[in-house]
Amino acid sequence: MKAVVLLRGVGSVGASLLGLLVLTFLIGRVMPLDPVLAIVGPDADRSTYLQVQQQLGLDQPLAVQFGRYLLTLAQGDLGRALLTGNPVAADLARVLPATVELATLAMLIGTLLGVPLGVLAATHHGRWPDHLARMLGLLGHSTPVFWFGMMGLLVFYAWLGWAGGIGRIGLAFEGTVPTVTGLLLVDAALAGDAAAWRSTLRHLLLPAAVLGLHSMAYLSRMTRSFMLVQLSQEYITAARVKGLSERQVVWGHAFRNIRVQLLTIVALAYGGLLEGAVLTETVFGWPGFGSYLTSSLLLGDMNAVMGSVLVIGVLFVSLNLLADALYRVFDPRAAA
């Protein structure tokens, strides 16, 4: 029985990823972008254009093109990127750690601020802490991220000099940190280079805080909603009647019962940060996954785009599977 469930799960994941690739491939082919023209330039003659088109296989029917792509993909080859001339897998391995580092710190900021803020709002429902939390959530959710980013650079970089500006590390340290994990903060620590570590942290904190504010807004609203439902339950009234402290009632009972729901929210929010940090990476000159995907899409580089989309799909599936596994840790009834 478990084997059947496992096979169904694997088949569902495979079908979802295949559908994602088909949809991305078709959209890429109907976009008014010509990757051949991007390679040969607008002044190339017709024969050169046709020769490059044939080399790329773009003269074949769409079904043939997609079939060839699946065959190469089955061999673990994501193709070669037109933008850089490198294998797509190598490009993704280079740019993805930068986004993971940024998104992870942003998620930590958003969770550590958003969850307590949501609990505070729920426990003070209808009073000024609740109104303040809702106002902060609305501000963080509705304000464009690029505006937050530019204002952050203006205040904390240009005026106060606290932030490190654009990029992942200061120019004086470019290329001096040996690459081990691709996460500059970790690699600088492993190398024992305190100056490079501080420079990396100064460059990382501001864009992570900008992204974290949006996560905080979302997580605080969801936490508040979940907590309000729990605080209205009869078991909460019974706990108070027994003489338990408010801290025990809120954190030991109500919050304990929303942890499983929050896991899914946090996992999905983290996945959204990994693939949706395009504007933040653009404003801060962050050489990450979002910038790479955007540049490839504008060029019509479908090998890079489809490789990136596949990575996004795998990340979301992996995060969902991780959330399901954690369900069973925090709520044994889910395994029944």
Residue ranges of domains in the chain: 2-74, 88-335
Residue 230 has pLDDT above 80, yes or no: yes
pLDDT at 118: 93
Q: How confident is the model at residue 194 (pLDDT cuts 50, 70, 90)?
A: very high
Q: How confident is the model at residue 10 (pLDDT cuts 50, 70, 90)?
A: low
CATH superfamily ID and name for 88-335 = MetI-like (1.10.3720.10)
pLDDT at 336: 52
pLDDT at 138: 84
pLDDT at 328: 72
pLDDT at 102: 92
> What integer is the mean pLDDT of 48-54?
82
Residue 109 has pLDDT above 80, yes or no: yes
Name the average pLDDT for the chain. Answer: 84
Among 128-132, 245-249, 289-293, 320-324, which is the least confidently predicted range?
320-324
pLDDT at 276: 65
Q: How confident is the model at residue 105 (pLDDT cuts 50, 70, 90)?
A: very high
Q: How confident is the model at residue 332 (pLDDT cuts 50, 70, 90)?
A: low
Question: What is the CB neighbour count within 10 angstroms for residue 227?
Answer: 23
Q: What is the pLDDT of residues 136-177, one digit of tens each?
A: 888 887 888 888 888 988 899 889 888 888 889 988 888 889
